[in-house]
Amino acid sequence: MTKFVIKGGKKLEGTLPIKGAKNSMLPIMAAAVLSSSREDIELQNIPAIVDMQVMTKILQSLGAKAKFAQNTLWINVRDLQNYTITEELMQEMRSSIFLMGPLLARFGKVRVTYPGGCSIGPRPIDLHLKGLEALGARIREENGYITASAPRLHGTEIHLDYPSVGATENLIMAAVLARGKTLIYNAAKEPEIVDLQNFLNALGADVRGAGTETLRIRGVESVGRCTYRIIPDRIVAGTYLMAAAITGGRLLLEQIIPEHLDAVVAKMKEAGVELVATADSLEVVSSDLRAVETLHTLPYPGFPTDLQAPMMALLTLARGESKVTESIFEARFRHVDELKRLRAQINVEGRTALIRGVEKLSGAEVQATDLRAGAALVLVGLAAEGQTVVHNIKHIDRGYERIEEDLGKIGAEIYRV
């Protein structure tokens, strides 16, 4: 099994460009299924990450053609003829659930299995299924498969019990070809949903309101093709800013959208990190880490749950006691035990972790349990004295394109072995 070997203690210094957002790319790749064009759809700024390869494999299993080169992905869905996603593919990546809405809209039928829970919690899909039923789908469950069918979906009003990112995206895509108007209340407001709206409208759909809690989708007869550049990845950007801060280094991130990180920048400043923003860049200038009284993860525009683990890594070296509450997922503290192996002082009570800052961390052998926990372990490895070995780094490759090359470019001693 591949692992990262990290020699800690190097200050990171330099400039990095940030690639496209994984959590924009995945729903947008699924949305390509809606197109009745016979031509390629061209997606630019696509990161070469494992999740892109898996979603490509799933689209190909349905009959689509896909080609990837130099961070551009061409998808052709003219020969799409399959609306069943195999159990094996569903288990490989939970985001395959994003295909339910588009496949149902295109074929009037879709068969999937429950996506695997993962190490951050059970990950139910009740809000997805309830919304599809409201749009007129008949949902049946038989021997592990969920079958949704509808001769044609019809517009409706949906009130989401929770602003679920995935459910919001799935239902927008299902509503694009429905007959009539759909309103979605209490929708998620993440920037990736605005990106999906812009992509769908570039195909010829009529979606309004993304970024607010109320969405209006006017169904159209069909949508075509487009060339579209996805937004930069705010979670990768936040992770790299924290890597610079934890090593006391200096890092300029270019080609990003700073306002997507407003809550993250505010919390990092509170933790003693000096940050400078321009219209399309953010720079960590210096850090004198101090504890933050409280940090709650929240739906956007609050502090993102995907940066909770990397931020906790930073706080292990921040003078004083910090309190971190994970409000989004039931079990997103798997990184705590691993951080403690490096001598971090953390106590977990339910959904809250108390972190008491220490003077120094000591390198150790640790396991990545999920994507962002793995990123957090790389961060503490960069700051810990001695050598840290991070195992199970396939989790990290799901969402970071060759993280060791990026960090190596700015002075980190990190090797994939």
Sheet holding 273-278, edge to edge: 13-17, 250-254, 281-287, 273-278
Tell me which stretch binds ligand EPZ (CB under 6 A): 101-109, 133-141, 144-152, 160-168: 160-168
Q: 399, 383, 380: which is closest to 337 by C-alpha? A: 380
Distance CA 273, CA 92 (A): 38
* 329 is a site residue for ligand EPZ (CB under 6 A): yes
Tell me, yes or no, if 226 is annotated catalytic: no
Pick the binder of ligand EPZ from 371, 373, 379, 382 (CB under 6 A): 371
Hey, which residues between 117 and 136 contact ligand EPZ (CB under 6 A)?
121, 123-128
Interface map 25-44 toward ligand EPZ (x if CB under 6 A)? -x------------------
The residues facing 179 across adjacent strands are: 154
Interface map 49-88 toward ligand EPZ (x if CB under 6 A)? ----------------------------------------
Q: SS3 for 40?
A: coil
- For residue 31, the minimal CB distance to ligand EPZ (Å) is 13
* 166 is a site residue for ligand EPZ (CB under 6 A): yes
* 305 is a site residue for ligand EPZ (CB under 6 A): yes
Taking CB atoms, the residue at the shortest distance from ligand EPZ is: 166
Number of separate helices (H) and strands (E) present in the chain: 14, 23
- For residue 22, the minimal CB distance to ligand EPZ (Å) is 6
- For residue 10, the minimal CB distance to ligand EPZ (Å) is 26
Contacts of 178 (CB under 8 A, 6+ apart): 105, 135, 136, 152, 153, 154, 155, 217, 219
Pick the binder of ligand EPZ from 35, 56, 76, 95 (CB under 6 A): 95
Distance CA 284, CA 249 (A): 8
Sheet holding 413-416, edge to edge: 365-367, 387-391, 3-7, 413-416
Buried b / exposed e across 35-64, counting CB within 10 Å, b at 16+? Answer: bbbeebbbbebbbebbbbebbbebbeebeb
Q: Which residues are catalytic?
A: 118
Give the interface with ligand EPZ as residue ranges (CB under 6 A): 22-23, 26, 95, 121, 123-128, 162, 164-167, 188, 305-306, 328-329, 371-372, 399
